Amino acid sequence: MFSTKKKSYRKKSSTKKTILHKAFPRDPFIKEKRACCSIRFYDNQTDIVKQFMISKPLVEVVQVAADPFLPLTQTMDTTQYIHYFLKENPKNPYAQYLYQMGIRNNDTAIGFSVEKGEDLKRWVKEKRGEKAVLFDWDRTLSVLEGIVVPPNQWVAQEFKQRRIVAKDIALYYAGTRERLKYIRLLSAFLDKHKVHVYILTNNPVASTQWSQWRDSVGPESRDQFFRVVRQFFPSIKIENILSGMDTNGFKPDVFNKHPILRYMYERMEHWEYMKQRESGLILK
C-alpha cells in the first residue's frame, strides 16, 4: 500500500514538472515563437506611439495615416464629409440627423487602410503562440475624430424614433460600404486564427467612469459605442472595449489593469530577458 502511494506521488510530481517545462522551456530558443506571445497596436497619433515605445517597448505599434481606400485626399470639416457621404448614402438616417444638428468635426480620410489590413494578416500568419491586436477608434477604425452616440435613454429613444441603428452609425464612421465590409472580413480572419481583438481609445464614450465626463457622455454611451464597434468586429466582447481615459489618458497603463494583456506582456518580458541572458547581454 505504501508502495502504491509512492508511485502515485512520483507520477504527479513528474507531470507537474513537465507542465512547467512546457510553459517555460530551459532553452529560450527552443520553439520560442510557439511558446510566447505577440501584441500589435494601431493608432494615428505620434505621441501615443512614443508612449508605447517608452513604457511598453515589446508591443509593436503601427501608426496609421491617410487611408488610400477612401476618395478623400485632404482634411475637410464634417459638413463637407456629410455632403460626400449623403451623396453616396442619401437615405442614411444618422447622417441626416447630424446634418440637421449642424455638428462639426475635423480630420477625415485618416484611418486603418486595406494595405494595413493585408499586412496584419501576414503578421498573424507569421507569428506563433498567443496573439492580440488593439485598435484605436478616432481616425484609425473611424475616418473621423470623435463619435456621436446617445448618452442617455432620452436621446436613445429619439434615435429609435428616427430609426437610426448601429449599422447606420458604423457606416458613417467607416467612410464607405467597401471599407466596412473589408474590416468585417478581417474580423472573421482574426477570429479564425484565435487572435484577441481590443479597442483601446481615449474617446470618453468608451470609459467605464462616465460620470467624470458628464459634459460629453452619459450612462448609455459605452453600451451604445459597443453596439457600433460590433458592426466592425461582430464577435468582440464589451470587456474588450478599453479606455485610456480610465488611466488618465495614458494608454500603456491599460495593460497593467487588463488581466489577459498583462499576462501576455509579462510572458513577452520573460522571453526577452531569457534571450538577452543567453546572448550574454545580461549576466547569469
pLDDT of 2 reads: 39
DSSP 3-state of 103? coil
Average pLDDT over residues 12-30: 40
| Bridge-based pairing state of the strands 60-63 and 37-43 | parallel
The mean pLDDT of the chain is 82
Average pLDDT over residues 145-163: 94
Residue 25 pLDDT level (bands cut at 50, 70, 90): very low
Residue type, 229: V
CA–CA distance, 150 with 219 (Å, rounded to integer):
9
Write the DSSP string, 148-172: ----SHHHHHHHHHTT--HHHHHHH
CA distance readout (Å), 101 to 40, 170, 235: 37, 18, 32
pLDDT of 275 reads: 72
Q: What is the pTM assigned to this prediction?
A: 0.82
pLDDT of 279 reads: 65
Q: Residue 139 burial by CB count (10 A; 0-12/13-18/19+): exposed, middle or buried?
A: buried
Cell numbers found for residue 144: 473621423
- pLDDT tens for residues 108-141? 557 888 899 999 999 999 988 899 999 999 999 9
Which of the pair, 22 or 54, is modelled with greater confidence? 54
Percent of the chain with pLDDT over 70: 76
CA distance readout (Å), 114 to 49, 61, 189, 279: 21, 17, 14, 38
pLDDT of 172 reads: 94
Describe the strand order of the beta sheet including 60-63 as a list of residue ranges.
60-63, 37-43, 130-135, 196-201, 241-243
CA–CA distance, 202 with 48 (Å, rounded to integer):
10
pLDDT of 19 reads: 38
pLDDT of 76 reads: 53
Q: Residue 60 burial by CB count (10 A; 0-12/13-18/19+): exposed, middle or buried?
A: middle
Residue type, 79: T
Average pLDDT over residues 144-155: 92
Residue 195 pLDDT level (bands cut at 50, 70, 90): very high
- pLDDT tens for residues 210-246? 777 666 789 999 999 999 999 999 999 999 999 998 8
Residue type, 196: H
DSSP 3-state of 203? coil
| Bridge-based pairing state of the strands 241-243 and 130-135 | unpaired
pLDDT of 65 reads: 79
- pLDDT tens for residues 44-76? 989 999 999 999 999 999 999 765 545 543 445
Percent of the chain with pLDDT over 90: 55
Judged against a pLDDT cut of 90, whether residue 152 lies above it is answered with: yes
Residue spans of the domains in the chain: they are: 39-66+111-265
CA–CA distance, 249 with 138 (Å, rounded to integer):
14
Average pLDDT over residues 96-102: 91
